[in-house]
Amino acid sequence: MSLLERLFGRPKVMIEALGPSHAGKVAMLHATSFSHGWDQPEVARMLADPSILSDGVFSGTSRLPAGFVMSRLAADEAEILTICIDPDQRGRGLGHLLLERHLANLVRRSVATLFLEVEDSNAPALALYRAFGFNKVGERPGYYPKPDGSRALALILRRDLG
């Protein structure tokens, strides 16, 4: 714990909706977590899309997100498209806080069922999703491209929200 944290307490964490103005930082964060990152124009379009719910986690006084999650809504279902935390901020519980708030926001939007895909070797993500009650409902062999040119298995997970 830093001297500032000892004197003034832990930095404040906020979770807020993201908009197109966050596209640059969101694209950078995505590129740090996935071998095929999204570019800034693509992210800006997604953040402006009314069928996509995007939440960011902000640490301390920064106006740039330390992580984000995006879900596409369709009727009473949604799919988490991506979730990532800045590598320098991982291990602090930000992903847990972000997913917890995002699930609550999805429930407020009348989402009853939530799906996602995750690489089968992504142990931190799998632990997070299991902690939130997601269950495996399928697989997609060779779904995720890897930096070495190989492809990884994606697990399809589901959680009922309603």
* CATH number, residue 146: 3.40.630.30
- Known catalytic residue at 117: yes
Q: Residue 71: which of 17, 31, 148 has the closest Cα?
A: 17
Q: Which member of 77, 100, 117, 119 is catalytic?
A: 117
State the pLDDT confidence band at 61, using cuts at 50, 70 and 90.
confident
Burial class (CB in 10 A: 0-12, 13-18, 19+), 157: buried
CA dist., res. 95 & res. 131, Å (int) = 12
In the predicted model, is pLDDT for residue 47 greater than 80?
A: yes
**pTM for the model:** 0.88
Number of domains in the chain: 1
- Known catalytic residue at 139: no
Domain range enclosing 156: 3-160
Q: Which member of 129, 139, 143, 144 is catalytic?
A: 129
**For residue range 99-115, what is the model confidence (pLDDT) as tens digits?**
999 999 999 999 999 99
Q: How far is CA 18 from CA 57, 123, 129, in A?
A: 9, 27, 22
Q: Residue 40: which of 59, 16, 21 has the closest Cα?
A: 21
**For residue range 62-87, what is the model confidence (pLDDT) as tens digits?**
888 999 999 999 999 999 999 999 99
